[in-house]
Amino acid sequence: MDFLRPTTWEEALAAKADQPGAVPIQGGTDVMVEINFDVRRPPALLDLTGVAELREWSMTGGLCGVGAGVPYAAVIDELGGPLPGLAQASRTVGSPQIRNRGTVGGNLGAASPAGDSHPPLLAAGAVVEVESRDRGVRMIPAAEFYLGVKRSALEPDELIRAVHVPPATGPQYFSKVGTRNAMVIAVCSFAIALHPRERRVGTGIGSAAPTPRRALEAEELLAAELDWDAPIAPALLKRFGELCARAAAPIDDVRGTAAYRVHAIGVLARRTLTWAWNDHLEKRAA
Ligand SMILES: Cc1cc2nc3c(=O)[nH]c(=O)nc-3n(C[C@H](O)[C@H](O)[C@H](O)COP(=O)(O)OP(=O)(O)OC[C@H]3O[C@@H](n4cnc5c(N)ncnc54)[C@H](O)[C@@H]3O)c2cc1C
């Protein structure tokens, strides 16, 4: 197996263009597990840890650009202010060791429906920046990035450079159901982001459909019926939970049944909206 070690982004793109079968490796917390268990034996590994710029984040053009190599630990320590939903989700990933190595870029690359970064990226309206040497840059909205179970819009000659996330303008929450409190892949998860200026609420469902997805009908309901100056009517909250549950399309597997996941998504949706709404009203009253 070849081991390619570019030190610049241009070298990395050239290596991927010349060897599209080379598997990128960042933190390695997914790739190494697959290699250890012989799930795949790629002709080459493309080690991106030498490309320093991937480990940086920056605030440009009103968006927070998180390099594909920024580990969860940095998201938690440095980005809790602008990206509270993503930071909250990052705190639930694996263990301290996994959070030191694992990255949001790797989560996107793996595109598992259970990946914890996806729901907050969907709720916030993130855009994934990918690039190939020969075809240049593509900016893909998170909602269009996930195509199927562990399948994304990334082409074989492309690499993920960064994910661009609008900084929070309102409360954001992430909630995950697991069989224990740490080191657990989500049975299901849910993220919410209030966008008070646009009078809009963003949602993200995790581990309850072939891909991470938004609950679009539920978002439309709130856009039409939410009074941003008043407590949420219990009937509206209930309907929101129902529509989020209806947006899920889970399967039975070792982690949980489809029926349980549908039920739990409804509960998480009501719960996270209640938390976010309480924060929103408290801020208004202050
Ligand atoms: C013990 C353990 C616990 C875990 N717990 C969780 C958890 O709670 N929640 C969760 O979501 N995940 C969990 N994971 C999975 C894993 O940690 C995450 O998916 C993590 O985000 C992967 O990041 P990485 O940098 O290690 O990716 P890598 O393993 O390096 O790569 C993952 C995938 O992304 C591709 N890739 C990486 N970088 C790029 C790039 N720049 N461009 C294109 N493709 C790229 C790789 O080719 C590969 O397909 C766990 C894993 C382990 C081993």
Q: Pocket of ligand 1, candidates 107, 150, 177, 207: which has the most ligand atoms within 8 Å of its Cβ, to mutate?
A: 107
- Residue 61 CA to ligand 1 centre (angstroms): 28
Within 8 A by CB and 6+ apart from 212, the residues are: 113, 115, 118, 119, 122, 146, 204, 205, 206
Any ligand 1 atom below 6 A from CB of 268? no
* C-beta of 12 in contact with ligand 1 (< 6 A): no
Which residue has the CA at smallest separation from atom 34 of ligand 1?
Answer: 109
Show the beta-strand stretches assigned E in 26-86.
44-47, 57-60, 63-67
The tens-digit pLDDT sequence of the chain (286 residues) is 999 999 999 999 999 999 999 999 999 999 999 999 999 899 999 999 999 999 999 999 999 999 999 999 999 999 999 999 999 999 999 999 999 999 999 999 999 999 999 999 999 999 999 999 999 999 999 999 999 999 999 999 999 999 999 999 999 999 999 998 888 999 999 999 999 999 999 999 999 999 999 999 999 999 999 999 999 999 999 999 999 999 999 999 999 999 999 999 999 999 999 999 999 999 989 8
CA distance 60 to 275: 30
User: Ligand 1: distance of its center to the CA of 31 in Å?
Assistant: 7
Q: Is the CB of 94 under 6 A from ligand 1?
A: yes
Q: Is the pTM of this model over 0.75?
A: yes
